[in-house]
Amino acid sequence: MTKISQLSQILYKQNSIPPGKNRRELMIVDMQKLNTQKIHCFNCTGTCCTYSANSMQITPIEAFEIILSLEVTNENLLEIKTKLLQNIKDYRLDHEIFLGKKNISHLRKTYTCPFFTPGSKGCTIKKDLKPYGCLGFNPRIENDNGGLCTSNTEILEVRQSQFRDLELWANNYLKKEFNLDWEKCEIPKAVLLLLEKMF
């Protein structure tokens, strides 16, 4: 789809935003290291991707990279939008709960990610294009299956500081170009809001 390639050209070629793989390398290497110690998610039911524990929120550039992973075309666009909309309705992500003036924030809701499939496959988003927070969240012992899984905040912070300025530019560019009024939101909402502005 030309709009997606045009945008990739602007972000990654003209403005030198490193591609998804490079910006996620630290977390991917960490995961590979865990895998060599037999610490992985293969036998888990996907606790961190489902309603029981998932409240992941993502930025516009992460939403764009999920769109890249989905390989959106004119043929599958409607199907993808319908799936996202249904997921948003199922988990009432279209109703924000305001926590009061003192907090000036909204309650983070839990939801099953629309890109999660039960079984051995789990996440259907390409590793190099997954939300940073998803990649940084891993088991720490063998066969844990969700019990003691945690975020490697050290690696996530190093990654963020490495790419802070470039990602800030990319997020501001997407916000301005597509008139987005959010910094971060739940995965299905972020992807649908961006898709609707793009197409």
- Which residues contact ligand SF4 by CB under 6 A? 41, 44, 46-49, 54, 56, 113, 115-116, 123, 125, 130-131, 134, 137-139, 144-146, 149, 187
Cβ proximity to ligand SF4, 6 vs 147, nearer residue: 147
CB of 101 to ligand SF4, least distance (A): 31
Cβ proximity to ligand SF4, 20 vs 139, nearer residue: 139
CB of 173 to ligand SF4, least distance (A): 23
CB of 40 to ligand SF4, least distance (A): 7
Cβ proximity to ligand SF4, 151 vs 162, nearer residue: 151
CB of 165 to ligand SF4, least distance (A): 25
Cβ proximity to ligand SF4, 49 vs 88, nearer residue: 49
The whole-angstrom separation of Cα 103 and Cα 88 is 24
